[in-house]
Chains A and B, each alone.
Chain A
């Protein structure tokens, strides 16, 4: 494979923009998705200079503090705001960046860590430091400054809830996905480069980049007919999944009807139901409410007992309806 490098004269003529990428309460998958750009990433570094990216290169908070306000051109911020450190970094990077992007599901809508919003901090800590499962903390539950058996530690303090980036600071754009698909990231970086060069349109503030405005169902190649469900099934209980028929019609709880498109509907194509990682589609305020409405419409029952029996096939309703979006939902979203 050859690396396409622009001619030196051409490269010199174009400015090089400063890029930051930070992880707050995240798993690091978004950073890996960016690294998955592979050879394209090397091309991008001709136009983008990474100035702060803890997942990929050395750099400290003090380096960011030393920057001028607005010095970073674009900051891709992944991860939700769960600790006081996350909030501090969100405010810091907002001040230092011209364009702040909520990157990935955690920053956009809370993702899996947001499911912890169902419980109190005490409950979350007790589960995480269950003495049955760990003996590192010696029965103690650290939160904030902690005299550990190994010396004094300055751990971040948990906030009441996990918040999305937009609930804490003003954001310019969001890129959904857990993680965002690598080809979509390339498109977004290309479009942002063009916008900064002045050769492409600047998306309106608040726009969702790297995704469509329809649903995963629209992208899905499976055959769709009139849906009529007598029971919800778990995929492991099926002898085989029909390769061509809509998964929801087969009784599998698929999130396609409410989820934003842009991923290419890869999960349903592979025979696994959509889990809704691209978040609520355009115009939907609450992912769970929309999905619940869609399911209630296809259930084939009119007597309360029968409806309840079918509903019992979804043992964890919050996990089913809000797997990625509880922190951004109407009731646990903190949007008042």
Chain B
């Protein structure tokens, strides 16, 4: 699975050829009652899925504020996954549906901001669906790998821009 070892000499000679394959950083949000239990079940069942996903557990998928997702993207996530209970199983009645609305709204807005819809994903997993959880994660990681990183012009940082103007010669002040 790991890339073949290269000596420093060869990597210096041919940096483009030996460049690391793109490994996306993916932020995953789970709810406490279903999808986190599904992740747990996948773990205890020894079902493997790529380690690109970092999971954060919330009490409910309805706790998910759009701000969390935007901050995730701003801080370097290549994709964000929202998971939760199936709507009829939600422990907080209609919150899973509210999360669905936020997801659809947010996916549209992100797409208008230049972030592909596939970078925001959502799926349901009950506490018994460890296999489904792992399969979905595997599918999403493969999709994001195919997309590549978010273009730098979308995720601009202050450091990438000149904050202070370069010192210039005193310009001639033109009398109005």
A interface, how many residues as a size bin?
Answer: 35 or more
Is the pair B157, A296 in contact by a Cβ cutoff of 8 Å? no
Distance in angstroms from B23 CB to nearest chain A CB is 21
**Surface stretch bound by B, among A12-20, A41-49, A57-65, A126-134:** A57-65
Q: Which B residues are in CB contact (< 8 Å) with A316?
A: 112
Is the pair A301, B101 in contact by a Cβ cutoff of 8 Å? yes
A267 interface hit (Cβ, 8 Å)? no
Q: Select which of A61, A160, A296 is within 8 A of B161 by beta carbon.
A: A160
Is the pair A307, B101 in contact by a Cβ cutoff of 8 Å? yes
A154 interface hit (Cβ, 8 Å)? yes
Is the pair A88, B74 in contact by a Cβ cutoff of 8 Å? no
Is the pair A292, B164 in contact by a Cβ cutoff of 8 Å? no
Q: Which B residues are in CB contact (< 8 Å) with A84?
A: 165
Given the contacts A161-B156, A167-B158, A292-B102, A329 and B70 also touching, CB distance less than 8 Å: yes
B19 interface hit (Cβ, 8 Å)? no
Cβ < 8 Å to B, chain A residues 129-184: 154, 159-161, 163, 167-168
A98 interface hit (Cβ, 8 Å)? no
Q: Select which of A296, A311, A329, A335 is within 8 A of B98 by beta carbon.
A: A296
Q: Which A residues are in CB contact (< 8 Å) with B98?
A: 296-297
Given the contacts A302-B87, A311-B108, A318 and B165 also touching, CB distance less than 8 Å: no
A213 interface hit (Cβ, 8 Å)? no
Is the pair A334, B158 in contact by a Cβ cutoff of 8 Å? yes
Q: Select which of A61, A160, A321, A335 is within 8 A of B109 by beta carbon.
A: A321
Render A323-336 as a binary contact track against B, CB cut-off 8 A, 1 for contact. Answer: 00000011111111
Q: Select which of B65, B74, B155, B171 is within 8 A of A293 by beta carbon.
A: B65
Distance in angstroms from A289 CB to nearest chain B CB is 4
Number of CB contacts from chain A to chain B under 8 A: 114
Render B106-132 as a binary contact track against A, CB cut-off 8 A, 1 for contact. Answer: 101100111100000000000000000
Distance in angstroms from B74 CB to nearest chain A CB is 4
B73 interface hit (Cβ, 8 Å)? yes
Render A270-309 as a binary contact track against B, CB cut-off 8 A, 1 for contact. Answer: 0000000000000011101110110111010110100110
Question: Bound state CA distance, A271 and B52, in angstroms?
Answer: 50
Given the contacts A296-B105, A302-B97, A311-B104, A289 and B156 also touching, CB distance less than 8 Å: no
Q: Which A residues are in CB contact (< 8 Å) with B115?
A: 331
Is the pair A118, B114 in contact by a Cβ cutoff of 8 Å? yes
Q: Which A residues are in CB contact (< 8 Å) with B102?
A: 292-293, 296
Given the contacts A289-B67, A335-B74, A304 and B100 also touching, CB distance less than 8 Å: yes
Is the pair B114, A296 in contact by a Cβ cutoff of 8 Å? no
Q: Which B residues are in CB contact (< 8 Å) with A60?
A: 173
Q: Select which of A61, A159, A317 is within 8 A of B112 by beta carbon.
A: A317
Name, among A61, A292, A308, the residue most crowded by chain B CB atoms within 10 Å (CB to CB). A292
Is the pair B171, A154 in contact by a Cβ cutoff of 8 Å? yes
Is the pair A302, B100 in contact by a Cβ cutoff of 8 Å? yes
Q: Which B residues are in CB contact (< 8 Å) with A34?
A: none
Is the pair B66, A293 in contact by a Cβ cutoff of 8 Å? yes
Cβ < 8 Å to A, chain B residues 154-168: 154-165, 168
Q: Which B residues are in CB contact (< 8 Å) with A318?
A: 109, 112-113
Q: Select which of A120, A163, A330 is within 8 A of B153 by beta carbon.
A: A120
Is the pair A330, B158 in contact by a Cβ cutoff of 8 Å? no
Distance in angstroms from A39 CB to nearest chain B CB is 29
Q: Which A residues are in CB contact (< 8 Å) with B106?
A: 292
- B residues apposed to A, CB below 8 Å: 65-67, 69-71, 73-74, 87, 94, 97-98, 100-102, 104-106, 108-109, 112-115, 153-165, 168, 171, 173, 176
Q: Which 7 A-B pairs have the closest CB atoms?
A: A289-B66, A336-B157, A296-B101, A330-B70, A289-B67, A317-B109, A296-B102
* 15 extra A-B contacts, CB within 8 A, seeds A286-B70, A311-B105: A62-B173, A87-B163, A286-B71, A288-B109, A289-B67, A290-B66, A302-B94, A311-B104, A311-B108, A329-B70, A330-B67, A331-B70, A331-B155, A334-B161, A336-B158
| A-B contacts, 30 listed (Cβ < 8 Å) | A60-B173, A87-B162, A88-B168, A91-B164, A120-B153, A160-B156, A160-B161, A163-B161, A167-B158, A168-B163, A285-B67, A292-B105, A293-B67, A295-B105, A296-B104, A302-B94, A302-B100, A304-B100, A308-B104, A317-B108, A317-B109, A318-B109, A329-B70, A330-B70, A330-B73, A330-B74, A331-B154, A332-B113, A335-B74, A336-B157
